[in-house]
Amino acid sequence: MSGHGKQLLAAGHVTNYHESGKGQPLFLLHGSGPGVSGWSNWAKTMPAFSDNWRVIVPDIAGFGFTPYQDGLKYDIKLWVSHILGVMDALDISKASFVGNSFGGAVAIGLALFAPDRVDRIVLLGTPAGDFPQTPGLRGAYTYEPSMENMRELMELFPHDQKLVTDELVKSRYEASARPGAQEGLRKLLPAPAKEGVTVVKGFPATALAKINVPTLVVHGREDRVVPPECGLLIANTVPNADLHLFGNCGHWVQTEQAARFVSLVREFLSEQP
C-alpha cells in the first residue's frame, strides 16, 4: 500500500485517508513538511492500535493526497472543519486524536472549537505559544526538491541520524517532487522573515487553559524542530494534562520511541473516565 488510500468528500475536500481496525474511533493526524502524508507519518503505527480501535488516518486539507484548492484560506479553522467533515462522512460523533506536530495543533483546535466531538487528545512535538522558527521549520518552507536536500532536511528531525534511511528519503523526496507539491506546501506554512528572527505562533496559554478534555503531551528532549518548551507550556496550562518527556529523542517520537510511545498512548486511551 502507498500513500493513496480510500477517498471521501469532507467539507468540500476530496479527502485521501486510510482506515483499519474496529472499536472506538482514533484519528492519527500527521505533521507538515515536504512529502508529508498521513501514511508517511503513521503507516508503522496504525497496526499497533487497530486491534482495539478504529484507526483513521486522513490527509489533512492541502497536504498529502488531499489536493490544495486555490481561493481558500487555509488556517486552523479550515483544518478543524475539514476533520469534522471527515468524522461526519464516516458517521463518527466523537473520537480521540493523536496529533503529530502540526497535527497536534489541529487536535488542539478540535478540543477548543468542537469539544463535544473530542474524547481525548495526545500531542506529539506540538507547537504552542511563540517561539523562534527553527532550521527544521524554516527548511520545510525553503526546501527545493532533490534527494540531497530532502536528506539534509530529514536529518534535522530525529536525534539518531540512522533513522534517516535511504528508503525514507526516497519516499519523502518522490512525494515532495510531485508537480506543484512544494509550491502548494509553501501556501500552508508561515513564510520566514526576510531578515531577523521569524516568530512561530502556536496556540497561546490563554487558549490552552480552556481545553477541557484529558490531554497527554509527549515530546522529545532533543527536539530541534519544535522546542520541548512548547510541550512544557501545554502541560503547564491545559487543566487535565500529563507530560512525558522522552530522552534521546528528537521530533519523531512515534518512530524514535515507538514501543514506549504505543504503550503510553494505549494506557492513556484505555483509562476509564
Catalytic positions: 101, 223, 251
Q: Which of 195, 181, 166, 235 is nearest to 62 (CA)?
A: 181
The three-point CA angle 106-94-212 to 5° equals 60
Residues in CB range of 148: below 8 A, 6 or more apart: none
Q: Which residues of 150-178 are buried (b: 16+ CB within 10 A; e: fewer)?
A: bbebbebbbbeeeebeeebbebbbbbbbe
Residue 219: closest CA among 159, 171, 177, 175: 159
Within 13 Å, how many C-alpha atoms sit on residue 149's CB side?
16
- Return the bridge partners of 74, or none: none
